[in-house]
Structure 1
Amino acid sequence: MDHLFSINGLLSLLTLTFLEVVLGIDNIIFISLTAHKLPAEQQAKARNLGLILAMAFRVSLLLGLSYLISLQKPFWHYSSDWLTIAPTGQAIILFVGGLFLLYKATNEIFQKLEGEEHHTGSGGKSVKAKFAQVVTQIALIDLVFSIDSVLTAIGLTNEILIMITAVIISIIIMMGFSGPVGRFVNQHPSLQVLGLSFLIMIGFMLVAEASHDSELIILGNSIGQIPKGYLYFAIAFSLFVEFINIKMRKKSTKAVEIRDVKNEAGEKGII
């Protein structure tokens, strides 16, 4: 406790909290877009539950540092003329999480553009099943994002108390901003598609990072690590351009609306 309230301890806490919030932006995007599938009265509950699960995963990983470190060690080696690989537990989690993000984001973009979004029925069972499905998806991706967050924390300080405190504070901050962010994204369909595009980029980065951690070499070509700064710059620049577009649309025409092809066809008597 004395180290936590020292000058160095407070500086480490502030720095780590800021980085945890920045690293949690992609988590908020995924949670907001996934919770949007629920009825309006359940979205806030799903977002808060998702962030609480994220906090639980991160604190658990910090308390089990020895287990997390073991995940970074290769558990199998394979080498041939055209393929060399040494996968780790961490790489497997990142790889599966990356594939899940690629599938989820691509499928959501297809549904939005083709007008095939699923609507929750009025029955209690259908709502409950939907909520459980959303929370399960959030929990799975929380685990993937938590590994990156915890490894960043370990690289900045070796004080468990500071790391846990920073995680708790960052989650509380994200819970305060997740509601406004979620409402803003839901009100602008173009931002929803842009957010899903970000998830595709993040999914690709996770797959590449998993391949790099596994020391994957195919036909003599190794997989390099993608600097996260490139990813964050692309996201920030895209958001800046989109905010300008939103402001210009407010002055000229109404916001872009994603067409529901089936409903339009029904209204015109085609089907």
Structure 2
Amino acid sequence: MEATLALLQDPAAWAALATLVAMEIVLGIDNLIFISILTNKLPIEMREKARKIGISLALLMRLGLLATIAFIVTLTQPLFTVLGHGLSWRDLILIAGGGFLVWKATREIHQHVTAAEEGEEGGTTKAVHSFAAAIGQILVLDLVFSIDSIITAVGMTEHVQIMFVAVIAAVMAMLFAATPLANFINRNPTIVMLALAFLMMIGMTLIAEGLGTHVPKGYIYTAMAFSAAVEGLNMLARQRRRQRRAAREAGEASEVREIR
């Protein structure tokens, strides 16, 4: 109790908490995009429930991992060497997670393009995930991101209490933003392809990190922000074209009525 009170009075602890919360939220963007795309493949009535359950279970898993933080830190110890690079459990998890993300993004892109072609020919799209499969995949990917973020957090603060609060705050933010983001992605098909491209890039980054090549996160998120800004301009341009077309059609209809 005394240690907790001391932390509450320590400005450095508050600064570490703010930094960790910001880091967890930024890292959670990747996970949130994946969750949005994954749950949008479910029937409409199951989507929000899947998001809430998946994120809630992910929170419990992260808190459980924090409780075993002494073990998590040991995952950075090399197990064996390949081509002069020592691979640890963390590296193997990042490589496996990155490979899963690349495979999943590629598969979703293929299904998205195929569904669009079938739609043009009168075909119908269909959900490809079961509820349990969606929850399972959410947890698998969250495990990868959780281990990486916890190891990063250890280098920023030694206080587990701060890590617990940061994780809870970040996951609550994810829970709040999950449904609006998923609905936005669902309403804009071009955003789906952009988000899948983000996931593929993140997957390749995880593989590179696992193989010992550090990719600064700033580069990744700057590229994502730039691409999102360009797509935002494209969406604005499309909206204006629709408005002009609607105004023109309304004017033509008015002229027809006047002639009659």
Change (3 A) 1:171 1:113: same
1:38 match: 42
Q: Does 1:200 align with 2:200?
A: yes
Maintained 8 Å contact 2:90/2:148: no
1:124 match: none
2:238 match: 249
1:9, CA displacement in angstroms?
A: 2.4
Maintained 8 Å contact 1:20/1:166: yes
Q: Distance in 2 between matches of 1:71 and 1:100?
A: 20
1:50 match: 54
Q: Distance in 1 between matches of 2:25 and 2:104?
A: 23
Report the TM-score, using the length of structure 2 for normalisation.
Answer: 0.84
Q: Distance in 1 between matches of 2:147 and 2:221?
A: 18
1:74, CA displacement in angstroms?
A: 1.1
Q: Deviations over 1:78-130 (max 9, x none)?
A: 5xxxx334221111111111111111001101111121786249xxxxxxx70
Q: Distance in 1 between matches of 2:92 and 2:208?
A: 12
Partner of 1:76, secondary structure, is strand
**Among 220, 225, 229, which residue is 2:218 paired with?**
229
Q: Deviations over 1:31-62 (max 9, x none)?
A: 00000111112111111222222222222222
Q: Does 1:66 align with 2:66?
A: no
Q: Does 1:89 align with 2:89?
A: yes
Q: Does 1:8 align with 2:8?
A: no
1:227, CA displacement in angstroms?
A: 1.2
2:151 match: 151
Maintained 8 Å contact 1:13/1:166: yes
Q: Which runs of 4+ in 1 moved over 3 A?
A: none
Maintained 8 Å contact 1:3/1:9: no
2:130 counterpart letter in structure 1: K
1:125 match: none
Q: Does 1:76 align with 2:65?
A: no
Gaps of 5+ in 1: 122-128, 213-223, 255-271
- The CA RMSD over aligned residues, in Å, is 1.8
Q: Distance in 2 between matches of 1:85 and 1:8?
A: 36
1:8, CA displacement in angstroms?
A: 2.7
Q: Distance in 1 between matches of 2:75 and 2:19?
A: 26
Q: Distance in 2 between matches of 1:46 and 1:118?
A: 20
1:24 match: 28
Return the structure number with greater helix share. Answer: 2
1:234 counterpart letter in structure 2: A
Change (3 A) 1:12 1:110: same
Gaps of 5+ in 2: 119-123, 244-260
Change (3 A) 1:136 1:8: same
Identity level (%): 40
Report the TM-score, using the length of structure 1 for normalisation.
Answer: 0.81
Q: Which has the larger Rg? A: 2
How many matched pairs? Answer: 232
1:3, CA displacement in angstroms?
A: 3.1
1:215 match: none
Q: Deviations over 1:204-230 (max 9, x none)?
A: 000100000xxxxxxxxxxx3211111
Q: Deviations over 1:229-251 (max 9, x none)?
A: 11110001111111111111111
